[in-house]
Amino acid sequence: MLLAVMIDASGATLGHAAARSQRTQLPLCVLHGNCQAESLRVLLERSPTFCSAFRTLALPAVHEATADDVPRIRRIVSRASLVISQRVRDGYHGLAVGSHEVVQAAPADCRLVTIPALRYDGLYPFQVHVRDQRGQALPAPYSIYHDLRFIYCAAAGWSLDRSLAWLRDLAPSVAGIRALASRARAALLAIDQEVDIRVAERLLGPALHGRSFLTINHPTNVALAQLVSQIHLQLNLAYQPLLPGEDLLGEIRTPLERSVIAALELRAVPREDWTIGGCRTPVAQLLTAHLSWYAENAGLAQRAILEHEERIGILEFSP
């Protein structure tokens, strides 16, 4: 019995080695873009039809790339038969990692498929980026993302108790939530027109709208699967979704507000708290950290108010 098990195990090992060897002979596909690109690569690797046609290699995410990464990126792309690329501007962060710059390193017969960088703030109208005086994005404590309501409280100089009371009583404008969602929809649809793979209409349809994004720029696996499905269609490959149990970009999950669900008539269940690093984080805990951080960075909350003045007006905040 033991001998039989050893033979079976040996055969399996040889079989896996042969399969790996065969895959190294397949055409190379590289994915280029932000963190979404690597998540798409992971999902493509779960597709038997794609894996029978291509092997993949990871590229550094453009927002994390360094000058030392650029030669390696070009070497990898120079061997590619297929490049799946988000639209990234040339000279991004001062490096030659833009879409056109990267594709220039590809062979003449390399196929290019362009995809959107998915961003949609319609579900999270209070979530924003805040920039310093040089225009650089500043990550907020723990959540990375800033909340306009927290900024409002910090700029007003309110205590934690008063801030919590104001948040509890706040009734943001229904018309404002809808107006911002409409603007976000238009932006996502506009991006769709610039690329080969178009998914905005699917993501914003009734079935997926409320479960398409975890933050303003982190789509769910369900949303990413829409891209993967359309990539297969573009390549004339059959696709049967085989998604991981956990969202690949689920490190941070924003609360999905009841007011937003009601205003946008979403088919969704409210999320009351943040999830950060897999841990439930109550809003009060995050607000405490943010108020302290704004207090330590004098003038930042006031500058952020000016930066997002129009959005605050649309949502009709008031003391």
Ordered per-residue pLDDT tens for the chain, 319 residues: 333 333 344 454 544 444 455 667 899 999 999 999 999 999 999 999 999 999 998 899 999 999 999 999 999 999 999 999 999 999 998 999 999 999 999 999 999 999 999 999 999 999 999 988 887 889 999 999 999 999 999 999 999 999 999 999 999 999 999 999 999 999 999 999 999 999 999 999 999 999 999 999 999 999 999 999 999 999 999 998 888 889 999 999 999 999 999 999 999 999 999 999 989 999 999 999 999 999 999 899 999 999 999 999 999 987 7
At residue 134, the pLDDT reads: 80
Dihedral class, residue 236 (left if φ above 0, else alpha if ψ from -120 to 50, else beta): left
* Domains defined along the chain, listed by start: 1-115 (3.40.50.12080), 118-319 (no CATH)
Q: How far apart are CA 265 and CA 195, in angstroms?
A: 29
Q: How far apart are CA 290 and CA 304, in angstroms?
A: 13
Contact present, 84 and 40 (Cβ < 8 Å): yes
Amino acid at 193: Q
Angle among Cα 296, 302, 305 to the nearest 5 degrees reads 130
Q: pTM of the full predicted structure?
A: 0.89
